[in-house]
Structure 1
Amino acid sequence: MATMRDVAARAGVSAKTVSRVFNDDPHVLPETRAHVEQVMRELNYVPNILATTFRSGKSSAIGVAVPDVVDPYFAAIAGAVDDVAARRDTATLLTNLGNDPARERDILESLLSRRLAGLVVAPIGTDHSWLKRWKDSTPVVFVDRAPIGLSADTFADNDEAGGYLATRHLIEHGHRRIAYVGDMIHLSTEINRLAGYRRALAEAGITPDDTLVSVYVSDRDTTQAAITRLRALQAPPTAIFSANARSSMLLVYVLPEDELAVVGFGDFPMADRLRPTLTVIDQDPGQLGRYAAERVFERVEHPKRRLKRTTILDVTLIERESCKVGHPPA
């Protein structure tokens, strides 16, 4: 593989001149630029990006860290970030955080140590104050979920409004015993969706019942255990608000078709092909990803802007069939 020194020797110029040509320095004479570019083509020269990054302290990549890279929602966020980055000739480094909050810091610090231009992260941890030492050198933008213990740019859905819309919709179908099924309750998404659920109940004059709340539902076993517990209550629920798409997909495996009405937070592929089709609170993960990536580049271009902003996107309810089944009280 040809090096910068090889190009310089063939062209009869210094390696510094080759670097200036590659970086589009306006002070290079047009005839020199044309000659060096011709030699680059002849030698099929590809610059050593890692070396360039090390010397300049600037990266040609931004990082994306999400809980699950194969989850359609987070995959859409990552894809949108990559689209924005590609238009700026910037690579994307994608990593999977998983579901263990204790591992988040190690994973993110490993990513940040690569001298990224910026980082987009959908967090899973319980403390992000340690990121303060990275903020001056690397813009960090949070997406879907707000950080804990850190002031930072954040793009999220209106989770409280979504929880409220879903629960109110079930109330309008006659249900008063409505269960909440969710996952990591320390996350801002779940905190706000649970708050919306409780607000809708209170507005309808329904006293919230904590026995109807099931959290840390993350796989088939915990989903089955939650449904078994709810069924065994003296006054079992007639409907469920599922607080995230993963919980909704898991419920498909354990609920008979017509046993309980369900509204889920977050659409997903095949939700409109289930029997019954699933009523959902719809989000736009692509828009979240685009906004987050654009904010990263804005921070790169204007590093002295200190104001951190939180942007909340609206959500909507898509009514299908699952909200109409079950047996609400007469």
Structure 2
Amino acid sequence: MATMRDVAARAGVSAKTVSRVFNDDPHVLPETRLHVEQIMRDLNYVPNVLATTFRNGRSSAIGVAVPDVVDPFFAAIARAVDDLARSRGVATLLTNLGDEPGRERDILESLLSRRLAGLVVAPISIDHSWLKRWQDSTPLVFVDRAPVGLSADTFTDNDEVGGYQATRHLIEHGHRRIAYVGGDLRLSTELNRLAGYWRAIDEAGIEKDDGLIKAYVDNRASTEDAVTRLLDHPWRPTAVFSSNARCSMMLLHALPADQLAVVGFGDFPMADVVRPALTVIDQDPNEIGRLAAQRVFDRVDHPKRRLRKTNILDVTLIERESCKVAARS
């Protein structure tokens, strides 16, 4: 990545002049400003604002971008990042990515244009190659899902194993017609959990039925539609694997009581007190957030380290009552 000195050399000015142009100093001649700005664009220059921030002794901040700040899983990640950041005297800027992948870049670039100590992001889009130009100036750590088109520090759960464990658990309770209800299959989390579901189905010698797969369930209307279609299926399922906590919470309202066994991926508040209490594949969002924040500060403390690593955390099945609905003949 181009440095300030590279821009200065190409433009035939001093590094101090480049700094003044970037900081919009009014004392720079207009023709000099235009010339230097063009060189910045030509070299795809991104200033190392992190070094400037720490050198000047000013407080900085970690950016945290998640799909839904209200979702208990992502809220726990953000809280864990904030806890560690506070211990380092650093603030946290939290933003909501929402569910429109096309907006992700604008939102992240808005964060990155600030003086961040680093950025922790749970991505929603399927192309992150554009972030390469930021990596030397801002530590980037991905959580929950790996980036696409970018090598970066990543902390994810073992989604495929979790999908397998959930489905296998229902099979061990005697179920042979197990539905899958999940979200956007363009996302690696959903694809991997569905792969685990299919692996368990294959191992058990159960005939595959695509009619039991209901994806892109992300609101009450789509949940009710999925449940109606499943209950009207010629070979009605006796159990459901819900691939994320949001789906699980909506399914609890839509499914007929005590008629289908359920295992959900991801625990959430009140999952253990609803009736029947929900059996879940348990993640540890607090640990993911802590590890992500720690990696940001490791990058700050050791900026010359270049090796980036994907870290996969174990998941655990917590058995409660919802998996114990008996399978029907």
Same topology, TM > 0.5: yes
Report the Cα offset of residue 72 of structure 1: 1.0
Q: 1:328 corresponds to which residue? A: 327
Q: Which 10-residue stretch deviates more, 142-151 or 53-62?
A: 53-62
Structure 1 Cα separation of the partners of residues 296 and 140 of structure 2: 7
1:106-145 equivalences in 2 (<5 Å): 106-145=106-145
Q: 2:88 corresponds to which residue? A: 88
Structure 2 Cα separation of the partners of residues 288 and 162 of structure 1: 16
Structure 2 Cα separation of the partners of residues 249 and 172 of structure 1: 24
Aligned AA (2:168) = R
Q: Aligned with 1:267: secondary structure?
A: coil
Q: Aligned with 1:154: secondary structure?
A: strand
Does the aligned pair in 2 maintain the 1:64–1:95 contact within 8 Å? yes
Q: 2:308 corresponds to which residue? A: 308
Q: 1:243 corresponds to which residue? A: 243
Q: 1:64 corresponds to which residue? A: 64
Structure 1 unaligned regions, length at least 5: 1-51
Change (3 A) 1:107 1:59: farther
Report the Cα offset of residue 264 of structure 1: 0.2
Structure 2 Cα separation of the partners of residues 268 and 302 of structure 1: 36
Q: 1:216 corresponds to which residue? A: 216
Report the Cα offset of residue 100 of structure 1: 1.0
Deviation string 1:277-302 (CA, Å, 9 cap, x unpaired) is: 10000111000000000001111111
Structure 1 Cα separation of the partners of residues 304 and 109 of structure 2: 23
- Bigger Rg, which one: 1
Structure 2 Cα separation of the partners of residues 207 and 199 of structure 1: 12
Change (3 A) 1:54 1:303: closer
The number of residues matched between the two structures is 279
Structure 2 Cα separation of the partners of residues 97 and 248 of structure 1: 21
Aligned AA (1:261) = A
Q: Tell me the TM-score normalized by structure 1.
A: 0.82
Structure 1 Cα separation of the partners of residues 68 and 83 of structure 2: 19
Aligned AA (1:122) = A
Structure 1 Cα separation of the partners of residues 170 and 233 of structure 2: 20
Report the Cα offset of residue 329 of structure 1: 3.7
Structure 1 Cα separation of the partners of residues 206 and 316 of structure 2: 24
Does the aligned pair in 2 maintain the 1:59–1:115 contact within 8 Å? no
Q: Aligned with 2:156: secondary structure?
A: strand
Matched, 1:103 2:100: no
Structure 1 Cα separation of the partners of residues 121 and 229 of structure 2: 35
Q: 2:149 corresponds to which residue? A: 149
Q: Which 10-residue stretch deviates more, 53-62 or 270-279?
A: 53-62
Aligned AA (1:286) = N
Structure 1 Cα separation of the partners of residues 111 and 270 of structure 2: 33
Change (3 A) 1:237 1:57: farther
Q: Aligned with 1:117: secondary structure?
A: strand
Aligned AA (2:286) = G
Deviation string 1:156-209 (CA, Å, 9 cap, x unpaired) is: 111111000000000001111101000111111111111110111111111322
Structure 2 Cα separation of the partners of residues 295 and 64 of structure 1: 14
Does the aligned pair in 1 maintain the 2:59–2:89 contact within 8 Å? no
Q: 1:252 corresponds to which residue? A: 252
Q: 1:278 corresponds to which residue? A: 278
Structure 2 Cα separation of the partners of residues 188 and 143 of structure 1: 12
Q: 2:8 corresponds to which residue? A: none
Report the Cα offset of residue 54 of structure 1: 10
Does the aligned pair in 2 maintain the 1:58–1:116 contact within 8 Å? no
Structure 2 unaligned regions, length at least 5: 1-51
Structure 2 Cα separation of the partners of residues 149 and 260 of structure 1: 40
Aligned AA (2:226) = A
- Percent identical across equivalent pairs? 74
Q: 2:186 corresponds to which residue? A: 186
Does the aligned pair in 2 maintain the 1:58–1:115 contact within 8 Å? no
Q: 2:28 corresponds to which residue? A: none
Deviation string 1:94-146 (CA, Å, 9 cap, x unpaired) is: 10111111111111010001021100001111111111111111110001111
Report the Cα offset of residue 55 of structure 1: 8.6
Q: Aligned with 2:116: secondary structure?
A: coil
Q: Which 10-residue stretch deviates more, 263-272 or 181-190?
A: 181-190
Aligned AA (1:105) = R
Q: Which 10-residue stretch deviates more, 134-143 or 226-235?
A: 226-235
Runs of 4+ in 1 over 4 A off after TM superposition: 54-59
Q: Tell me the TM-score normalized by structure 2.
A: 0.82
Q: Aligned with 1:74: secondary structure?
A: helix
Structure 2 Cα separation of the partners of residues 145 and 104 of structure 1: 14
